[in-house]
């Protein structure tokens, strides 16, 4: 899938037409996500379906798949973070409409201004990031190094006090 996604969209118009968009979105263009990444090389595959549900709520249903390269906080090396997430957004014009959405929808403000589609995708990617990215302990070079280290002499600094108590 190498088709480029549009940058600016009118989601309400797309929902009214029941449009389907799919394409790749480069990670290099995601300025808010970039500081969380080890490298910005690569892209995510995005599939978006717009429509109107039986309750007459316009929606955007999407799927994002790809791989983010994060920095392991144990060893500071690159760690793969696979992304395979679904999103269901209800298209609203006001905060009052957002409050009235059924629970299975997250609100997306789709007023008179065009929506910047890469920002919507970037928001979803930011929300799926782990708080502390790290390799599984068995695969982390820092954990392996720690296991290989021999225990150091465990001197007890207050042992002298114990001797004083016995002798004194």
Q: What is the pLDDT of residues 105-140, one digit of tens each?
A: 999 999 888 999 999 999 999 999 999 999 988 888
Q: Which whole number is the average pLDDT over 49-74? A: 96
The band of 55, judged by pLDDT with boundaries at 50, 70 and 90, is: very high
Residue 2 banded pLDDT, cuts 50, 70, 90: low
pTM of the shown model: 0.80
The count of structural domains within the chain is 1
Residue-number span of the structural domain to which 53 is assigned: 8-140
Distance from C-alpha of 58 to C-alpha of 87, rounded to nearest angstrom? 14
Is residue 1 over pLDDT 50? no
Asked if the structure places residue 32 within a domain, the reply is yes
Q: Quick one: pLDDT band at residue 95, thresholds 50, 70, 90?
A: very high
Residue 166 covered by a domain: no
User: What single DSSP character describes residue 56?
Assistant: S
Tokens representing 163? Answer: 């001797």
For residues 38-48, average pLDDT: 96
H/E stretch holding 96: helix 95-100
What is the full DSSP assignment across 99-152?
HHS-TT-EEEE-SSSPEEHHHHHHHHHHHHS-SS----GGG-HHHHHHHHSPPP
Nearest to 104 by CA among 55, 66, 64, 65: 55
Query: Is 153 part of any domain?
Result: no
Residue 162 lies in a domain: no
Q: Is residue 1 part of a domain?
A: no
pLDDT at 152: 64
């Amino acid at each position: 899938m190498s088709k480029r996604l549009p940058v600016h969209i009118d989601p309400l118009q797309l929902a009214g037409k029941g449009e389907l968009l799919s394409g790749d979105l480069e990670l290099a263009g995601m300025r808010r996500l970039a500081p969380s990444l080890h490298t910005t090389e690569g892209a995510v595959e995005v599939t978006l379906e717009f429509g109107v549900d039986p309750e007459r709520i316009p929606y955007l249903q999407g799927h994002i798949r790809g791989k983010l390269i994060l920095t392991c906080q144990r060893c500071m090396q690159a760690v793969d973070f696979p992304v395979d997430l679904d999103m269901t957004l209800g298209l609203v014009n006001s905060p009052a409409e957002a409050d009235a959405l059924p629970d299975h929808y997250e609100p997306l403000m789709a007023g008179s201004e065009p929506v910047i589609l890469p920002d919507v995708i970037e928001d979803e990617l930011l929300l799926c990031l782990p708080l502390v990215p790290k390799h599984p302990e068995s695969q982390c070079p820092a954990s392996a190094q720690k296991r290989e280290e021999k225990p150091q002499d465990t001197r007890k600094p207050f042992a002298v006090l114990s001797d004083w108590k016995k002798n004194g």
